[in-house]
A and B are shown apart, each in its own frame.
Chain A
Amino acid sequence: AQTVTQSQPEMSVQEAETVTLSCTYDTSESDYYLFWYKQPPSRQMILVIRQEAYKQQNATENRFSVNFQKAAKSFSLKISDSQLGDAAMYFCAYRESNSGYALNFGKGTSLLVTP
């Protein structure tokens, strides 16, 4: 299985500031999909953003954007104008081509947003 690494167990950001969460992955595939999921205290898994590897353009969803560096196998999430509601666990995930296209998750980054 491909390896997904999130090197920051915890991050903190002040309200209205910008924060970047890191994710690297290991794969030999050329075509794949990457995701960021948010898990608030309600424990619901919420899709934040997804990226197709064949697309060079970085995905953007409102205040959330990614920096996708295919050669470096890096997929970081940038949250702009952070809000208190952004406080959550964030998981980076890789869509496996085997394992029934299951998502392979990193260990997560806990984001704290301070007023």
Chain B
Amino acid sequence: DADVTQTPRNRITKTGKRIMLECSQTKGHDRMYWYRQDPGLGLRLIYYSFDVKDINKGEISDGYSVSRQAQAKFSLSLESAIPNQTALYFCATSSGLYYGYTFGSGTRLTVV
């Protein structure tokens, strides 16, 4: 099993719908991150969390919310999806050490 699991792998949703992307990890890392990848823009940080009680906004948090249900679970929600939120979304974890980054396999979200 993957160390960092993202579900779903692909999703098509309609404008205005609420959608949740889920991330779970078995690495035991305390830090978790959500990134968004768009062609030509690289990966941009949406939210990050140190633990269940510490959640912080990243560079592009508008239109998104997150929930850290447990140390191992970090979910990203789009309350009312819009087409420009169509992107590839990555969850990542870190132990805080410089070498300890692990990425999930990504969720490709399409909003129509």
Contacts and interface: CB of A to CB of B under 8 A. Distances in A.
B31 A100 contact: yes
B52 to A, nearest CB: 14
A43 B105 contact: yes
A44 interface: yes
B94 A101 contact: yes
Interface stretch (B12-20, B38-46, B64-72, B75-83): B38-46
A44 B56 contact: no
A43 B106 contact: yes
Provide the main secondary structure of the chain A interface: mixed
A95 B100 CA distance: 11
Nearest to A50: B99
Contacts of A102: 33, 45, 48, 58, 94
Interface of A: 1, 4, 6, 9, 33, 35, 42-45, 47, 50, 52, 91, 95, 99-108
